[in-house]
Structure 1
């Protein structure tokens, strides 16, 4: 699958010699020639509004339908104590725009087999369930709870697993930001109604988006009173296909709880073979088919039959 790049707008001047033209005349001509170029550049810049920037972000980076990842999670408390976990993450986008996510913990032993299943319906409603093997053969619903309820001691909420629903927010572009030589768009997202605000737990969140690749590298989350709650930053960016980028490290800092969660992507594969539809069902989990040993058997054949395209899009561990 290839991704269409944006067409760039370039303008320039051709240097000419005017041997008999006085210096003031040369300056006047150069000044007149440069005015249209400046205006065109300014006009192009002004066309990037909050909504159009977010549309471009989604178009470039959030549309690949089948993704598998092996992750290491490091939970860090205020005393710098660390809790390390190993997990696998599966995501799948159906033709009707339903988005399915499955997060499975493999290590340490006390969380092995714990799984989080989340489905975002085309309407934007998120249905989520958690499977705790120690509590019996059932999936407990977590739907309807706010983002203040982080799962399994991490600083991520269930909704943080999925890209935000663009139609749920009003986007406003703020003053651009620069760090070193890199320019960033700054876009603030406001919930469109009180129900969305209650569900997310945020009064607004602010995105910092690189202008060279339209990738969100930082998001600040604020409560309804304007206090900073969390900050999410993306690191070790890699281009994986055309204009699509991915971060190999994600850090969520919880300013309220003085706690951090770092996610390191050890392996990433873009392939429908790794995310078959039967995985995203209660039956598949309750049969414990997601436990590491059985999962290896499930993918033994598919891992050997990957096409050339999947190999190209596979990051090194």
Structure 2
């Protein structure tokens, strides 16, 4: 999900590229890497409290706080809720997301001022969410079946050897909906965890870079990033998110992921 202080978190050093494997094998290996990442680091349910800092090129900063709930339902599909708790003028604003099983995700935005849940249209997925550098597309879970994943080589970032996996839309419909022509994932080989993502627009231009920092081993082979920085190169703007609290296998009632729960203001209770 980042001025002078923030820039320090973005210092990832690219040192070397390895040879690209044959295309057929490269696609199979790329998918296997991202599937393994999903299996290792996803949990059936989780909650978090996040502090967010927005910073522009002039050094102006805004701070926000929000909570998240995520749960894999009995049908195997994930639902997530993100609700702002601060500042006061944003408190109660929420984004509800449901996986649908057809490669799509339904999203609804709730703003207390209107008192309504508004469906996020597919044509709006490339829009930025609430002044951050994350789009609605960035905030919905990836269905791997909707993408081609190609292992293109390796690189060393901050002294760690990483796979490089290029992710592109697999269908014309997905390409039309997506704001990205390509995303490039740098996945640490030792823990199979993505530490950097480069976002390219449909014309191939690099527009954003996301980096993960302060990695923490939660349990077993599961890791999380305590800080995530999204650097919007085009807008010269950054969003830094830091975990203030995180709980895996949290007991979450299914009712959390409903319109009624959000509109009653229960995420703020």
**Which TM class, normalised by the smaller chain length?**
0.7 to 0.9
How far the C-alpha of 1:180 sits from its partner, in A, is: 5.1
The worse-fitting range, judged by mean Cα deviation, of 119-128 and 102-111 is 119-128
Structure with a larger share of its residues in strand: 2
How far the C-alpha of 1:179 sits from its partner, in A, is: 3.3
- 1:104–1:114 CA contact under 8 A, matched in 2: yes
SS at match of 2:49: strand
How far the C-alpha of 1:290 sits from its partner, in A, is: 2.0
Structure 2 counterpart of 1:232: 210
Structure 1 counterpart of 2:267: 290
The RMSD of aligned alpha carbons is 1.7
SS at match of 1:262: strand
Structure 1 counterpart of 2:73: 94
Q: Which runs of 4+ in 1 moved over 2 A?
A: 145-148
The answer to whether residue 30 in structure 2 is matched with residue 53 in structure 1 is no
- 2:72–2:79 CA contact under 8 A, matched in 1: yes
- 1:138–1:286 CA contact under 8 A, matched in 2: yes
How far the C-alpha of 1:109 sits from its partner, in A, is: 1.0
Query: 95, 99, 105: which one pairs with 1:126?
Result: 105
CA shift digits 1:92-138 (9 cap, x unpaired): 11121221111111111110111111111222211111111111x21
How far the C-alpha of 1:177 sits from its partner, in A, is: 0.5
Query: What are the residue-to-residue correspondences of 1:1-317 with 2, within 5 Å?
Result: 49-62=29-42, 64-135=43-114, 137-179=115-157, 181-273=159-251, 275-291=252-268, 295=269
- 1:252–1:260 CA contact under 8 A, matched in 2: yes
Structure 2: distance between partners of 1:152 and 1:180: 32
Structure with a larger share of its residues in helix: 1
**Structure 2 gaps, min length 5:** 1-24
Structure 1: distance between partners of 2:136 and 2:68: 13
Q: TM-score, normalised by structure 1?
A: 0.74
Structure 2 counterpart of 1:40: none
Using CA pairs below 8 Å that are at least 6 residues apart, which structure has the higher relative contact order?
2
Structure 2 counterpart of 1:14: none
- 1:74–1:84 CA contact under 8 A, matched in 2: yes
- 2:230–2:240 CA contact under 8 A, matched in 1: yes
How far the C-alpha of 1:146 sits from its partner, in A, is: 4.1
Aligned residues: 245
Seen in structure 2, the aligned counterparts of structure 1 residues 271 and 55 have a Cα distance that, compared at 3 Å, is closer
